[in-house]
Amino acid sequence: MSLLKVEGLSTHFITRDIDNQRRVARALTDVNFALDTGRVLGIIGETGAGKSLTAQSICGLLKPPARIVGGRVTFDGQELTSMSPDALNRLRGSQIALVVQNPRSSLDPLARVGDQLVRIHQAHGRHSRAASRKRALDMLAAVGIPDPEGRARAWPHELSGGMAQRVLIAMALMNDPRLLIADEPTTGLDVTVQAQILDLLRNLVQRFGMAMMIITHDLGVVAHYCDEVAVMFAGTIVESGPVKRIFSAPGHPYTRALIGATPERRRVGQGGAQIGGEPPDLYNLPSGCPVRLRCAYATEVCASPPPERVMTPGHVVRCHHAGDLDARGSVA
Amino acid sequence: MSQVVQGEAATAPRPGRRVLNRMIGLFRMSPVAAVGLLIILFFAVLAVFAPWLMPYDPIQSHPGRVLQPPSAEHWFGTDANGMDVFSRVIYGARYGFGIAIPAVLLALAIGVPVGLIAGYKGGYLDEFLMRIFDGLRVFPSIILALAVVAATGQSLFNVIIVLGLLDAPVFARLVRAEVLAQRNSVFVESSVAAGNPTWRTMFVHLLPNSIQGAMAQTAVRAAWAVRISATLAFLGVGIQVPTPEWGAMIRQGAEVMVSGQWWVAVFPGLALIMLVFGLNLLGDGMQDVMDPRRRQQK
Amino acid sequence: MTGAQPVLSVRGLTKQFAVGGGRLLTAVNKVDLDIRPGETVGMVGESGSGKSTFGRAVLRLTEPTEGSIRFGGQDITHISQRQLRPLRREMQMVFQDPWSALNPRLSIGDLITEPIKLHLNLGRSERADRAEALARRVRLSRDFLRRTPSGLSGGQLQRVCIARAIATSPKLLVLDEPTSSLDLSVRAGILDLLAEIRDETQTAMLFISHDLSTIRAISDRIVVLYLGAVVEEAGAEALFETPAHPYSKALLSAHLPADPEVKLARHQLEGEVPSPINLPSGCSFHTRCPVAIGACKTTVPQPVAVGGTEHFARCIRIQGGATQTARSETA
């Protein structure tokens, strides 16, 4: 059984505008995926595709007007969407841990680093202060911070960006989480530091037997640090499967365009960036396939919701034309 | 769970319906502003249609009917000169708007450019201008206004000028603060890079993006102007009896209050309170709607 | 092309900021750079490398502390902003964040034609024609001309910024991370557009970015910046094939190509970029350099010719090249 299983998850933003009209943004539509212990899943997509919202929906961090309107999230056999906020709070920070971008703003500026780690440990279990302190120093060492004792006494503003991100990861590890959700963990960090942080996360998953979800817009991060990938577009997972498989044989036109648009795959001026259009308006999504208005392969059938097609075991493509793209592409 | 609720089809409602919806929408966004706006509209109607709404000439005295209590003939009674209080209260709305609007416009006309220049140029010029304004703020505004109006002559025009000058620093400070925040923003740099002369960068690019805070304050400052001008009239400075101005009427009424003729002061007083209240409500709502930081908390 | 007079010629450009307590932050440290007509020079570096400050200083949007900037043969380092204004017609800039780079109160049409209004004496209808032509050039529908920036996406806004920058047919375009804040599929279109414009108009470009793939895709020549100083300069292919400076090597290896089959070479660096407030002595990179020796702490490295033409690195550990004292001798 999978550690995390998301089935049919749909999240909407429901608001009223200045003309008192009800407006519904379909931010997530029928999201399905599963994640096993020891695996790293990358969720990739453009701004507004619903990557972060997926994470927030899973761990109950949605704020009005966003709300889950359907679907199930099963974590270790427990159903999360119907769980009470208190029970979800207990789960979050212990079993499920989050690492967000902008590490600096996620640390309490008025507490020493060590105290913040101790605090989160004490909040989720009965531990002696000494035990919590010991654990904090162990975790600071585990995330590769030199001189853990010295750093534990530091204030957040004394940390560099990379150091702050390491502290945040140490904090996430304090209560032995089984699932780590990293939302753009290296955005804003320098490339040379990005590699350090990603290597660290990857090793921690192995060492502590966790599962990890990395939310990113960087195909390079997916290519080198994830086992599986889910490609999101306009609130839908259009394709998911093993990373190598998806990079070598992408089955969805959107994935193809996305991978094809990287400077590694195409020369500048070569053209052919068809899906370079603008993301659709979530308040006014087209019927059927959300990609169809900017898809070179679209036909009438695309106006009806596309089925999830299993290409090879684990490789799922949500497209009417999955499997016959090459034949059609040569004609077009 | 693949059948998901469809977003409502955007069918255009009929025009009347649309206006109503916009009103309801506005009300949802800021009920406070909507109530304030209704009160102000009420007084605006009074001011515009005063000649048709007044049963009597507001400065026509009826020597036989001095200090009569409210009755079917004189709804708000009559004052010591035998003038109809109801008519005078209605006509007084003209003075309320007639002073507040030009005073606020004058304050904007002075304060906004000064704030813009001080904020953009910075340095000694900024120091100098801001010190002058600080100096102005040291004195309680009502005493300063009293002194200036007393010295320059008692006329409606002078009251407007004094109120406008006294209020200019408020707008200057608001604009300056916003200009300081926006001065280093990318679109300002982009306008310099495009080759804009300094004045154009300031007035075409910086100003329209720095003025919201000041605009949101206009209703609150208009309330202030109504209040201060009434106070001046009440103290006998500026507008004189028997002009149907609410402050002057309250002054008149205060004299006869002790002898039991309450209606002469109470009705203009109520009108004054309601208009100031309405302007403040609108001002508060405008700040909620126009200031993104306050909007986010909703 | 080598013989052509450079559009932009920068010598010894230094920019320092006072950061209080009498301390100085050195953002740009003695940078030399030439850009010839039609050439695209990529400038790559991490945050704090001074690449954005350099771009701004070149256009005198921030005042340089030392050094000289010659534009089209004219020394513009010390002329007044008033004298500079007519020259701005010839040198324009595109900024990183298109959401904040456009005055939200103006229409797209007015934004695009503003440089024309400022620099060319054209009537209203001619300007309207130009606006349509520019919109067509950057592949924006003419319907956008009447709208304000608020409803547009990042890619559309960046097209507006580009249209605005090329409105007066400048000789030099400084592009400060023009694609970094855009989504991947939109980036490709913007890069294509810039390449087309360059090929049609022979506009010289300074393309600033922290993203190696993007830089590689568009540049003829690449300059690598570390803590405000040029550590290596080479033709685009030469830099990627045979990087010479240890920092360039580390930067290239930290880059994650979007292809799981490419094996990552590991020259990982320890630690992070030091503060530009007290620059390390000698070679700024010695605190993180895997091959540093004692002399690196004391000797300021001079450009060393590496392999082919126009390939220089500032590192005393590189063997086999004659040390150049100044670039002007080789030019």
Q: Are residues C179 and C85 in the same domain?
A: yes
- A 292-331 residues with CB < 8 A to B: 305
Taking residues C210-217, what's their average pLDDT? 87
Q: Nearest C-alpha of chain A: how many angstroms from C258?
A: 4
In chain C, what residues touch A262 (CB-CB under 8 Å)? 184, 213, 258-259
Domain for residue C82, yes or no? yes
Contact status, residue B210 vs residue B174, Cβ threshold 8 Å: no
Q: Are residues C117 and C45 in the same domain?
A: no
Average pLDDT, chain B: 85
Question: How is residue C149 annotated by DSSP?
Answer: G
pLDDT of residue A272: 53
| A276 — pLDDT class (breaks 50, 70, 90) | low
A64 → chain B, closest CA residue: B298
CB pair distance less than 8 Å for B197 and C115: no
Domain for residue C132, yes or no? yes
> SS3 for C51?
helix
Nearest to B25 among A8, A17, A283 (CB): A17
Nearest to C273 among A47, A190, A262 (CB): A190
Cα A130–chain centre separation: 35
CB pair distance less than 8 Å for A18 and B25: yes
Per-domain boundaries in chain A: 4-88+214-331
| Assembly ipTM | 0.86
CB pair distance less than 8 Å for B29 and A71: no
Strands A236-242 and A308-312: unpaired
CB pair distance less than 8 Å for A217 and C184: yes
pLDDT of residue B10: 41
Range of the structural domain that residue C240 is part of:
8-90+171-256
Nearest to C210 among A191, A259, A261 (CB): A191
Domain for residue C211, yes or no? yes
A: neighbours with 3+ CB pairs under 8 Å? Answer: B, C
CB pair distance less than 8 Å for C185 and A223: no
Across chain B, which distance is largest between two alpha carbons, in Å?
Answer: 84
Taking residues A262-280, what's their average pLDDT? 65
Q: Are residues C73 and C176 in the same domain?
A: yes
pLDDT in tens, B149-204: 888 877 888 889 999 998 999 999 999 999 999 998 999 999 999 999 999 999 99
Supply C177's token pair: 């991370």
Nearest to C189 among A248, A263, A273 (CB): A273
Domain for residue C329, yes or no? no
Taking residues A218-243, what's their average pLDDT? 94
Q: What are phi and psi of A315, to 5 degrees?
A: -100, 105
A161 → chain C, closest CA residue: C272
Nearest to A268 among C191, C261, C262 (CB): C191
Q: Nearest C-alpha of chain C: how many angstroms from B206?
A: 8
Q: What is chain A's length? A: 332
Last residue of a domain, one of C222, C256, C290: C256
Supply A109's token pair: 């500026």
Q: How far apart (Å, rounded) are the C-alpha atoms in residues B21 and B33?
A: 16
pLDDT in tens, C48-84: 789 999 999 999 999 999 999 999 989 999 999 999 9
Q: Name the residue among A37, A332, A39, A41 with its Cα closest to residue A213.
A: A41
Q: How many domains does chain C have?
A: 2
Taking residues B87-113, what's their average pLDDT? 94
In chain B, what residues touch C118 (CB-CB under 8 Å)? 194-197, 200
Q: How far apart (Å, rounded) are the C-alpha atoms in residues A222 and A243?
A: 7
pLDDT of residue B273: 94
Environment class of C244 (CB within 10 Å of its CB; exposed 0-12, middle 13-18, buried 19+): buried
Handedness of CA B235, B240, B241, B243 (dihedral sign): negative
B194 → chain C, closest CA residue: C115
Q: Are residues C104 and C250 in the same domain?
A: no
In chain A, what residues touch C187 (CB-CB under 8 Å)? 261
pLDDT of residue A252: 92
| Class at the top of the CATH hierarchy for domain A4-88+214-331 | alpha beta
In chain B, what residues touch A8 (CB-CB under 8 Å)? 1-2
Supply B59's token pair: 């400065």
CB pair distance less than 8 Å for B190 and C102: yes
Q: Nearest C-alpha of chain B: how many angstroms from C317?
A: 41
Between residues C325 and B202, the one the model is more confident about: B202
Q: Are residues C85 and C113 in the same domain?
A: no
Q: Is A71 on the interface with B (CB under 8 A)?
A: yes
Contact status, residue B243 vs residue B250, Cβ threshold 8 Å: no
Supply C151's token pair: 């409803």
Domain for residue C317, yes or no? no
| B118 — pLDDT class (breaks 50, 70, 90) | very high
Nearest to B193 among C92, C102, C105 (CB): C92
Among A160-164, B126-130, C265-269, the range with the most confident prediction by mean pLDDT is B126-130
Q: Is C101 on the interface with B (CB under 8 A)?
A: yes
- Kind and range of the H or E element at A183? strand A179-183
* Those residues with Cβ within 8 angstroms of residue A214's Cβ, 6 or more apart along the chain or in another chain: A40, A41, A42, A43, A182, A185, A201, A221, A222, A225, A226
C195 → chain A, closest CA residue: A269
Beta carbons within 10 angstroms of residue C78's beta carbon: 11
pLDDT of residue A275: 53
Q: Name the residue among A37, A26, A39, A30 with its Cα closest to residue A6.
A: A30
The region of weakest confidence among A158-162, B11-15, C102-106 is B11-15
pLDDT higher than threshold 80 for residue A57: yes
Nearest to A69 among B5, B10, B29 (CB): B5
Q: Nearest C-alpha of chain B: how many angstroms from C268?
A: 35
Q: Which of A5, A13, A20 is most worth mutating to test chain B (most B CB atoms within 10 A of its CB)?
A: A20
pLDDT higher than threshold 80 for residue C323: no
In chain A, what residues touch C153 (CB-CB under 8 Å)? 278-279
* Those residues with Cβ within 8 angstroms of residue A305's Cβ, 6 or more apart along the chain or in another chain: A288, A289, B2
Q: Name the residue among B282, B279, B284, B261 with its Cα closest to residue B93.
A: B279
CB pair distance less than 8 Å for A69 and B4: yes
pLDDT higher than threshold 80 for residue C126: yes
Last residue of a domain, one of C126, C153, C169: C169
Q: How far apart (Å, rounded) are the C-alpha atoms in residues C190 and C162?
A: 9
What is the third-level CATH fold of B38-296? MetI-like fold (1.10.3720)
Taking residues C107-117, what's their average pLDDT? 94
CB pair distance less than 8 Å for B186 and C101: yes
pLDDT of residue B15: 62
Q: Are residues C73 and C177 in the same domain?
A: yes
B: neighbours with 3+ CB pairs under 8 Å? Answer: A, C
pLDDT of residue A332: 33
pLDDT in tens, B49-97: 999 998 888 888 888 888 888 988 888 988 888 899 999 999 999 999 9
CB pair distance less than 8 Å for C89 and B195: yes
CB pair distance less than 8 Å for A30 and B25: no
Q: Are residues C249 and C114 in the same domain?
A: no
What is the number of alpha carbons within 13 Å of residue B260 lying toward its C-beta?
2
In chain B, what residues touch A20 (CB-CB under 8 Å)? 21-22, 24-25, 28
Per-domain boundaries in chain B: 38-296
Q: Nearest C-alpha of chain B: how many angstroms from C103?
A: 6
C250 → chain A, closest CA residue: A192
Nearest to C218 among A224, A248, A268 (CB): A268
CB pair distance less than 8 Å for B194 and C59: no
| B4 — pLDDT class (breaks 50, 70, 90) | very low
In chain C, what residues touch B185 (CB-CB under 8 Å)? 100
Q: Is C231 on the interface with B (CB under 8 A)?
A: no
CA distances from A184 to A224, A278, B162, C54, C282 (A): 15, 22, 57, 29, 36
Q: Nearest C-alpha of chain A: how many angstroms from C139?
A: 11
pLDDT in tens, B266-281: 999 999 999 999 999 9
Average pLDDT, chain A: 87
Cross-strand pairs, A239 = A231, A317
CB pair distance less than 8 Å for B25 and A23: no
Percentage with pLDDT > 90 across chain B: 44
- Kind and range of the H or E element at A19? none
Instruction: Work out how many CB contacts closer than 8 A connect B with C.
Output: 54
Q: Is C71 on the interface with B (CB under 8 A)?
A: no
C: neighbours with 3+ CB pairs under 8 Å? Answer: A, B
Supply A67's token pair: 């709300």
* Those residues with Cβ within 8 angstroms of residue A212's Cβ, 6 or more apart along the chain or in another chain: A39, A40, A41, A179, A180, A181, A182, A201, A205
CB pair distance less than 8 Å for B187 and C119: no
* Those residues with Cβ within 8 angstroms of residue C157's Cβ, 6 or more apart along the chain or in another chain: C98, C99, C101, C102, C149
pLDDT of residue B212: 87
CA distances from A124 to A88, A92, A106 (A): 12, 9, 19
Taking residues C216-230, what's their average pLDDT? 93
Q: How far apart (Å, rounded) are the C-alpha atoms in residues A182 and B5?
A: 31
Nearest to C103 among B191, B195, B197 (CB): B191
CB pair distance less than 8 Å for B193 and C89: no
